[in-house]
Chain A
Amino acid sequence: MVPGSDVATEAVGLRTHPLTSVVQGALWAAAASVGLISSIFTGDGWGDMNALLSLAISLVGGLVLGMGFGFLTWRFTRYVIDGTELRINSGIITKASRRIPYERIQSVDIAEPLVARIFGLAELRIEMAGGKDSRTSLRFLSLADARDLRRVLLARAHGTSPDDAPADEQRSIITVVSPERVMIGTVLSLDFLFAAVGSIALIVGAIWFGQFVVALGGIIPLGTWLAQIIAKRILQQWDFTLSRGDRGLRIERGLLSRTSQTIPYARVQGIAIKEPFVWRRFGWLRLEVDVAGYASHGDDEGVDSSSILLPIADRALADAVIAELIPGFATDVPRTAAPRRSRAFAPIGWRYRWVGANERTFVAREGWIERTTSIVPHHKTQSVELRQGPLQRRRRLATVEVHTPQGPVDADGRNLDADEARAVVLAQLARARAARG
């Protein structure tokens, strides 16, 4: 190879969309003004400056700085797609080059934050397994480019040539969760009820006693919590569409900011069935999924929302979706339940705690307020643990944990009979070994 040719190839490559800097500016301006508004509400603001003036300054300042920064980032960011990997070169002063070998890709998502969506732009998120730094973002591309790139990356990740993949993959819709359903579900969840009733009670109390300033200390955190619940459970799950493609399930959701996720079939590490207290009366449940890489970053969108496989569903639909991702699962399996003497550790919860397995999956159930059933396919078992503390030893109890990558799935059997727990661990190791072949 000619010396210097490496540099030459790095200078070519594709650029992200030129409007990136504008979006970046708008995002910064929004962030700056949101920060200022909340500090104005708590009474700080910027010293004695007029609130509107300071708001205008932060808006314009954020816009200009963000645009400047965004322009420079855009100017120095290029990406290259070749036969074996995706390379992203970036950095204004410190140069960074990230290589993403196709076979390491866990999932490829498209996110359209509200501001970017106005300009028809989207962010491409590529997840790899392991570590905090496993997500690579390419922002921003035009929506069509982002979709195209995702198609190419997913095809490459499965070792096929992107030319073989049809430009418009055939997708069949499994279900659309209507916004009304999501709203009803949210209203009937305990934390929403608590936050809403608490806020109303505080406001009424404040008016009744005329002590508005005192009550403000309680209303602001409760109100923020309420707003977060609404944003996370309703706005982000708006128009939730689950569809099926050749390579995995696709989730499209969001009212203001749209997100489009692909969960490849082979990458599912486990599924958690969650049945909150009130929902159980109606037979509703929520499905959350473990995909390596998803939960390791608490970004602006929150950890939970991208792990949600179905925000609200009936048992039959949920079973169908799980069966698609983990063939051969069953929750009706031979069980090892927590013995009665474990009630010292969980006076009520011990009754609802068991682990079990069939030939394909390990299942763990716990919780009496929110019942959680964790399902882990044997061939995804990362490691198995047996634990015992001094108090457990006195009651001949022990805890079993089947480890999965970080995420909502926690397949633990706490406070089981010690000998049974050991038997579960050994049996699980044997099953995991058999499943790996």
Chain B
Amino acid sequence: MDDLFTPPSGTWQRVSPKLATIRRILILIPSALLVVAGVLLLLLLAGLQWIGGVLIVLALAGAVWGWLWAGRNQRSWGYAENADDLLVTRGVMFKRLVAIPYGRMQFVDVEAGPLARAYGVATVTLHTASPETAADIPGLPAAEATRLRNRLTELGEAHGAGV
């Protein structure tokens, strides 16, 4: 699109497409429940059938929108390990690029929920002394997440400068 959010050197490492799959599942479950509720309303409540209809339409619209969003959003994530900083980008409508010098990292978290574990991906989060940093990278394959965590911890120690 434009070159505003390209890394200063190299290219973005993209995250796993499984992130989109996981998010689609998380969106489809509540939509499916709402559709079921809508159908029940449609069949059982004679006077309030329009509510059931509205519910089904909204749930389907939400599911379609969520399906498309998950794909676009997954493709927008990227990270790059430069010589001195880690860069993370994300967002389609609201784009964001954050650069964290390795020496500023206080600690690195790796987490994976049950669904993420089933798909073998994890989220790596970097913490600096600033709460605004908010640098998380979701949808990393588990092996890559561990590698990145170890690498970042190593680099953080090598560059470490305290608070």
Contacts and interface: CB of A to CB of B under 8 A. Distances in A.
Interface stretch (B23-31, B50-58, B64-72, B93-101): B93-101
B85 to A, nearest CB: 6
Interface stretch (A71-79, A182-190, A387-395): A387-395
A404 interface: yes
Interface stretch (A47-55, A158-166, A333-341, A424-432): A424-432
A159 to B, nearest CB: 13
A84 interface: no
B114 interface: no
B4 A419 contact: yes
Contacts of A432: 101
Contacts of B161: 379, 436
B94 A389 contact: yes
Interface in B62-121: 84-85, 93-101, 103-104, 106
A426 B8 contact: yes
B104 A383 contact: yes
Contact of A388 (B94, B106, B131, B163): B94
Contacts of A383: 98-101, 104, 128, 130, 132-133, 135
A129 B128 CA distance: 10
B129 A429 contact: no
Nearest to A422: B4
Contacts of A106: 163
Contact of B104 (A292, A382, A386, A401): A382
Given A387-B94, A388-B4, A381 B101 contact: yes
B117 to A, nearest CB: 27
Interface string A351-386: 000000000000000000000000000010111111
A422 B163 CA distance: 26
Interface residues of A, number: 33
A419 B101 CA distance: 22
A379 B163 CA distance: 10
A292 B163 contact: yes
A385 B130 contact: no
Nearest to A437: B161
A426 B82 CA distance: 12
Contacts of B133: 382-383, 385, 403
A47 B155 CA distance: 64
B159 interface: yes
Interface in B134-163: 135, 159, 161, 163
A163 to B, nearest CB: 25
Given A383-B104, A384-B99, A429-B85, A129 B94 contact: no
A12 B4 CA distance: 62
B106 A436 contact: no
Given A384-B98, A390-B94, A436-B159, A403 B103 contact: no
A309 interface: no
Contacts of A422: 4
Given A292-B129, A387-B95, 20 more contacts: A106-B163, A129-B106, A292-B163, A382-B128, A383-B101, A383-B104, A383-B132, A383-B133, A383-B135, A387-B96, A388-B4, A389-B94, A390-B94, A403-B130, A405-B130, A405-B131, A405-B163, A419-B4, A422-B4, A426-B8
List of 3 A-B pairs having minimum Cβ-Cβ separation, nearest first: A382-B130, A403-B130, A383-B100
Interface of B: 2, 4-5, 8, 84-85, 93-101, 103-104, 106, 127-133, 135, 159, 161, 163
Interface of A: 106, 129-130, 267, 269, 292, 379, 381-390, 393, 398, 401, 403-406, 418-419, 422, 425-426, 429, 432-433, 436
22 contacts: A129-B106, A269-B163, A381-B101, A382-B129, A383-B101, A383-B133, A385-B99, A386-B5, A387-B96, A388-B95, A389-B94, A389-B95, A403-B132, A404-B132, A405-B130, A406-B131, A422-B4, A429-B84, A429-B99, A433-B85, A433-B101, A436-B159
